[in-house]
Structure 1
Amino acid sequence: MLPTVVTLGNMICGFSSILCASNHQFEIAAWLIVAAMALDAFDGRLARMMKTSSKLGSQLDSMADLTTFGIAPAILMIKTCTNFPNLFLWGVGLFFMICAAFRLARFNTQKDEETTMARHFFTGLPTTLSGGTIAQLVILNHFIQIKFGIDIVAVLLPFITFALGLFMVSKVPFFNITGKIGLKQGIWFMVLEFSAAIVFFVLTPELALSTALSCYLISCAMYGVVKGRHLKKGYSVT
């Protein structure tokens, strides 16, 4: 039951984020999506470690991901960007949600059909990272508003959301850099990485989150495009 509880925690964060966004508590809504990212990173690994993986758990995880990283970020974007016509924002939000649903369905289909997949690559941008990117941009926007009194991130957010949707349904290979982070690097190098990350996050959590996700997306996309040319078929869709 433990992996299922973690997955349900992911879904609860998504639902709570929707409620907070509806009540104009945008920063709390965004941090709930970030918390769900942490839960989503552990439920699958926990199920495999405990040898309790099942099709039911896989389907439940997809439903939780659609709620938290498809619907909640779309609503958060719509509620945050008040300088645009509602019809435009609804269209972008709907497009993002449909792209998230399509990518999750594609992942489940390829997994059920046991499609050959190349290791260390995603097919398209994962829904978790897409939703998390919108959340961290909302957090960054709140930070910039307080410090400088400008809304530059909110102005760009709908267009970034649309681009994230396109990347989700594309077949652009995104390198899974997390597979390269671990004990194979060497214990001291890994400790140094995590120590620097913790210090950075404690000092400026808004900038730390934005910097980490932005660097991750840019580096993985560039590496994936270069290395993806050498992959004949079947990118990883995990």
Structure 2
Amino acid sequence: MGNITCGFFSILCASNYQFEIAAWLIVVAMVLDAFDGRLARMMKCTSEIGAQLDSMADLVTFGIAPAMLLIKACTDFSSVFLWGVGSFFMICAAFRLARFNIQKNDNTTMSSHFYTGLPTTLSGGTIAQLVILDHFIQVKFGIDVVATLLPFVTFTLGLFMVSKVPFFNITGKIGLKQGVWLMMLEFSAAILFFVLTPVLTLSTVLSCYLIICAMYGVVKSRHLKKEYSTT
């Protein structure tokens, strides 16, 4: 519910040209989306309604809201072009979520190591962090490079979502199994860097993850298909 509420308010903020607030709301939704499933399992209150609601919330927050943010923030392009790119991204997000639900309902063997295609959460979050980064660069250096590249990045993200390229599930490796002290060290370092430079930390982490995983997935996709049944 917090996820979809953030998505709704992000759309409203983007419509009122409050781009940075709209982008940060998507980032907040990413955090909520990362913990809702784990929290439900810890409390032993998982349900089919929760699973369906999660996908609906993801479509709003990481499909529609980033598309709206793109359309409103990139003023150097024609409206028709931006509408086309935004619609394409939204459709790819819907397809990605539907494919995941079908795999889950059909009891397809899923691996905790990889995702099939780029998750919608990371796709929408990438657009949000690029908008935040664009505002930061404009204030500091007066350069408008990120907004110029954003439509093309958005189109590429849509292709990755509907592709079968395996993306490493880094969140599956973070937990109590790796040790309490190591987990606390990781979270402490992440919080420290985020407090010091939130914009650069967010952009660096997401960009490095996407670039490394995309290259790794493309090179190793044939090998991984033999060893893993990806989600």
Does TM-score exceed 0.5, indicating one fold?
yes
Deviation at 1:187, TM superposition (A): 4.3
| 1:168 match: secondary structure | helix
Q: Deviations over 1:194-226 (max 9, x none)?
A: 332222111111101001111122222333344
Query: Are residue 148 (structure 1) and residue 144 (structure 2) matched?
Result: no
Deviation at 1:184, TM superposition (A): 4.2
After superposition, the CA RMSD in angstroms is 1.6
Q: Give the AA of the match of 2:30.
A: M
Q: Indicate how the Cα distance of structure 1 residues 89 and 54 shifts in structure 2: closer, same or farther if over 3 A, else same.
A: same
Unpaired runs of at least 5, structure 1: 1-7
Query: Are residue 61 (structure 1) and residue 54 (structure 2) matched?
Result: yes
TM (norm. structure 2) is: 0.94
Deviation at 1:227, TM superposition (A): 4.3
Q: Indicate how the Cα distance of structure 1 residues 38 and 169 shifts in structure 2: closer, same or farther if over 3 A, else same.
A: same
Aligned length: 230
Greater alpha carbon shift after TM alignment, 149-158 vs 36-45 = 36-45
Q: Superposed, which structure 2 residues align to 1:74-223 within 5 Å?
A: 74-223=67-216
| 1:232 match: secondary structure | helix
Matched residues, percent identical?
79
Q: Give the AA of the match of 1:172.
A: V
Q: Indicate how the Cα distance of structure 1 residues 86 and 122 shifts in structure 2: closer, same or farther if over 3 A, else same.
A: same
Q: Deviations over 1:62-118 (max 9, x none)?
A: 111000000000000111100000000000000000000001000111110111223
1:77, 1:55 → 2: CA distance?
32
Q: Indicate how the Cα distance of structure 1 residues 235 and 126 shifts in structure 2: closer, same or farther if over 3 A, else same.
A: farther
Unpaired runs of at least 5, structure 2: none
Deviation at 1:171, TM superposition (A): 0.3
1:190, 1:9 → 2: CA distance?
25
Deviation at 1:35, TM superposition (A): 0.3
1:223, 1:66 → 2: CA distance?
27
